[in-house]
Copies of this chain bind each other. A is one copy, B any other.
């Protein structure tokens, strides 16, 4: 007696991707509702099962759908926006400013639908995501019919979807509670990374993951820099540090794991954690070479992910699988490393296990959900076919297959693509909407790029507004007379400082953009002859003077100032100056009162270039009238300090030195 099923696939090269790498040719798979009920030889299954629909696969490969083990799908909308940049410039200079401006539930929905279309086309049936407004990712993925682990981001910074960590944690709880039993979506919590979360956040997210028994998705040990920082701050590598916060009590999915040692691998193994390897992303961002062969030898479930399409720049798992195999060979110096069957296992069975979904998907076995794809291995770029060994079939897919060879995709027993036609998504509409968003982002960035000031503002952080300053500067030959004169009774010294100032000035093609100064102040403790601390600031200087008074006392408009939280290298790559000039000086600085008015007195020794000594007298001002009064006082002070005979200098130091 035959039993009834919905669909019987016949005449296929069935790669089950089960743990024995069982193949059937001509093979068959029987699907009833959302599940696979039988896999085997065609002749056997034809006897046992009668189907509402029988599909002749015409010799194509029938295999489990691919598992994209780590991504940020809404970032399809930022694909190709900025490339060939260092991670910090890319993230702080482009991604985060644009995300602050554009990311919304609608943006997330559109980006996810685009990503689903691209992933279905390339044979992905399950993906593991981390982004903002993750509930909208979940809705879109479920509408598209894909299986997805959806991780709501939690981190210590304000995010596009949450003003604080508490808000995002609450969002995550509510989302998980609502979606817990969905047939396609596995809600999850995603503390972004150890360096963007506090220990408290790691513990709190692990608690939520345990409470609801859902996965915890995070980035771990992606760069050497991260490992170094965690080691400096906490005295241990990344994996022991996050273990200490209890995250391994949850079902962890650890993306990257580029810089971990064999002890850390064992920790992950004992914790039952899954790993997501991201070959393209690790290469393109120069993060390093993950020790994939060692991780597999340790027994870890290592899946493969595309990472977000803004850094990769696509969601092509065929490319990732091939690259995983290639890189493993090159870094172990052994072409037999990570052979094709295992590379493909990483993208299927091992990937599903890494996501803690091994019981549901990742291989074609009776009882699992019907997540499967048909791949044509007969196109020109993959012909001819050899059948001498079982491994030939895996090598065809891994070493010469293209995502465009996927013709049909079923998830949870439901067709998402047949004969290259998407059934759940309208590509043209999505593309039109995406083009509209891209136009807005282009306009936003073009506007911003037009001015150094707007690029500075886009970086965020606290930025002082413009102010006006009265100042006079004279060249002097000796400093002792000035220092002595500062002790006169009419001058009240409030405080005294000693800095060494290292300035780098950026010049731009368009002089009206002004100059950008990156200054490091080394605070010198003269008693102990040590630098007590260093302060870095960024200042945008205009070229114009606002006014001039007697004795060459100037009124200048000063100048956007922000703390320089990034490195000089960051600002160089972000602002792309046409040239740079370095100036170093030794500065003695007094804050004084003279006739009840505060002035700064700077006694500067120019060291690079060696230009001798200068005296500067400065005071902030807020009105024209106040400025006139202070200009008068500054002029008097010059005399009090015995410097009125010195050569008056009306230029900034950078103008004295000039552009090189």
Residues of B close to A90: CB separation below 8 A: 335
A284 interfacial by beta-carbon distance below 8 Å? yes
Interface residues of A in 78-95 (CB under 8 A from B): 79-81, 83-87, 90
Residues of B close to A329: CB separation below 8 A: 283-286
The contact of A335 among B284, B380, B396, B434, by CB within 8 Å, is B284
A378 interfacial by beta-carbon distance below 8 Å? yes
Of A76, A334, A381, A387, which is in contact with the most chain B CB atoms at under 10 Å from its CB?
A381
Residues of B close to A316: CB separation below 8 A: 381, 402
Would A336 and B86 count as touching, CB distance under 8 A?
yes
Interface residues of A in 486-514 (CB under 8 A from B): none
Nearest B-chain residue to A335, judged by Cβ: B286
Tell me which of A114-122, A360-368, A473-481 binds B: A114-122
Would A314 and B382 count as touching, CB distance under 8 A?
yes
Would A383 and B335 count as touching, CB distance under 8 A?
no
Give the shortest distance, in Å, between A227 (CB) and chain B (any CB): 14
Nearest B-chain residue to A315, judged by Cβ: B381
Give the shortest distance, in Å, between A291 (CB) and chain B (any CB): 14
Interface membership of chain A positions 105-128, coded 1 if the CB is closer than 8 angstroms to chain B and 0 otherwise: 000000000100110011000000
Residues of B close to A423: CB separation below 8 A: none
Nearest B-chain residue to A431, judged by Cβ: B383
Q: How many copies of this protein are present in the complex?
A: 2
Give the shortest distance, in Å, between A394 (CB) and chain B (any CB): 9
Interface residues of A in 380-406 (CB under 8 A from B): 380-388, 391-392, 395-396, 399-400, 402-404
Q: How far is the CA of A382 from the CA of B396 in the complex (A)?
A: 25
Given A84-B395, A399-B313, also A383-B336 (CB < 8 A):
no
Give the shortest distance, in Å, between A399 (CB) and chain B (any CB): 4
Give the shortest distance, in Å, between A326 (CB) and chain B (any CB): 4
Of A90, A114, A332, which is in contact with the most chain B CB atoms at under 10 Å from its CB?
A114
Nearest B-chain residue to A435, judged by Cβ: B384
A319 interfacial by beta-carbon distance below 8 Å? yes
Would B335 and A87 count as touching, CB distance under 8 A?
yes
A647 interfacial by beta-carbon distance below 8 Å? no
Would A286 and B332 count as touching, CB distance under 8 A?
yes
The contact of A326 among B283, B288, B337, by CB within 8 Å, is B283
Given A384-B434, A449-B388, also A395-B335 (CB < 8 A):
no
A340 interfacial by beta-carbon distance below 8 Å? yes
Residues of B close to A391: CB separation below 8 A: 83-84
Interface membership of chain A positions 310-323, coded 1 if the CB is closer than 8 angstroms to chain B and 0 otherwise: 00111110010001
Q: How far is the CA of A330 from the CA of B280 in the complex (A)?
A: 10
Would A80 and B400 count as touching, CB distance under 8 A?
yes
Residues of B close to A446: CB separation below 8 A: 388
Would A118 and B380 count as touching, CB distance under 8 A?
yes
A254 interfacial by beta-carbon distance below 8 Å? no
Would A573 and B77 count as touching, CB distance under 8 A?
no
Interface membership of chain A positions 557-597, coded 1 if the CB is closer than 8 angstroms to chain B and 0 otherwise: 00000000000000001000000000000000000000000
Tell me which of A168-176, A196-204, A436-444 binds B: A436-444
Interface membership of chain A positions 293-313, coded 1 if the CB is closer than 8 angstroms to chain B and 0 otherwise: 000000000000000010011
Residues of B close to A435: CB separation below 8 A: 383-385
Nearest B-chain residue to A331, judged by Cβ: B286
Nearest B-chain residue to A394, judged by Cβ: B83
Would A314 and B400 count as touching, CB distance under 8 A?
yes
Would B121 and A381 count as touching, CB distance under 8 A?
yes
Q: How far is the CA of A58 from the CA of B330 in the complex (A)?
A: 42
Interface residues, chain A, with chain B CB atoms under 8 Å away: 76-77, 79-81, 83-87, 90, 114, 117-118, 121-122, 280, 282-286, 288-289, 309, 312-316, 319, 323, 325-327, 329-330, 332-337, 339-340, 378, 380-388, 391-392, 395-396, 399-400, 402-404, 427, 431, 434-435, 437-438, 441-442, 445-446, 449, 573
Can you pick out 14 interface pairs between chain A and chain B where the beta carbons lie within 8 Å of each other? A83-B395, A84-B340, A85-B335, A86-B336, A121-B380, A284-B335, A286-B333, A286-B334, A286-B337, A314-B400, A380-B431, A385-B435, A386-B441, A388-B449
